[in-house]
Amino acid sequence: MKEMIVKVCGMRDGENIREVAELGVQWIGMIFWDKSPRNVTMIPTYAGIIPDRSPLNPQSSAEVSQPSTLNPQRTAEVTQHSTLNTQHSSPLRVGVFVDEMPQNIITRVVNFKLDLVQFHGNESPTAIRNLRRTLDPDIRPGIRFIKAISVGCREDIDAYKQYEDCIDYFLFDTRSPSVGGSGEHFDWSLLDAYDGDKPFLLSGGIGPDDAGRVLAFHHPRCIGIDLNSRFETAPGIKDTQKLKQFLDQL
């Protein structure tokens, strides 16, 4: 996986998080939405939920990806966006929120030492800009933002345009009645319509049998994949053996 960010989302159990982190994934996603079966509730202490490390510091970070002759453009983007701490090499922490109050997001950024915030609802660009000004640099310098876009048809892709100046990444997921974690695919060829400048992660029901499908997908702005429900033994608990086998195939 030297050319790709792997985000494993919907995690909530400390020991399971440590096991998945040891597989070498780059991002761990935690969902803070009380309607999700994977919801992470506030706890008295977060010590040990993910291996300890210092806050993201580009000046002292190692790059996950090494130069590649296969896809130099994508490799350059991955090394830019997926730095890890040299001592612990622990994943970056992504907090997933759905139309949440700004103060609740700020509280979880602080308590869980989040590196990225993912917006998975109908958040307005203005609200996202205001939150960034609040967090960066006073509370969490350098924090990055992801906006999830639900895709069911080609026209859905155009939703990215209103967010391009206020986020750092997009995540394209399957449109469904639920908010993420549906385990359903969407037609990835629809992403040919994405002509924006921001990099994105590919999501939408990627499962243990989809390594070939992932490898066959090509888009110049795609820098990684998002894995969730199809690698679970129960909501929020990932099957590390299935994950390892999938990563080995890639």
End-to-end CA gap in the chain = 6
Report residue 57's pLDDT band, with 50, 70 and 90 as the boundaries.
very low
Rounded to two decimals, the pTM is: 0.82
CB 225 within 8 A of CB 6: yes
As a whole number, mean pLDDT of residues 222-242 equals 96
The secondary element (H helix, E strand) that includes residue 111 is helix 102-111
DSSP state letter for 60: G
- Each residue's pLDDT tens digit, 187-199: 999 999 999 999 9
Short-list 20, 43, 18, 17, CA closest to 30: 17
pLDDT exceeding 70 applies to what percent of the chain? 77
**Residue 226 clears pLDDT 50, i.e. is over it:** yes
Short-list 220, 216, 230, CA closest to 181: 230
Report residue 184's pLDDT band, with 50, 70 and 90 as the boundaries.
confident
**Angle formed at CA 84 by CA 150 and CA 203, multiple of 5 degrees:** 15
The secondary element (H helix, E strand) that includes residue 135 is helix 125-135
Tokens of 175: 């449109």
**Residue 245 clears pLDDT 70, i.e. is over it:** yes
Determine the Cα–Cα distance for residues 43 and 34; give it in Å rounded to an integer. 14
- Each residue's pLDDT tens digit, 125-149: 999 999 999 999 999 999 999 999 9
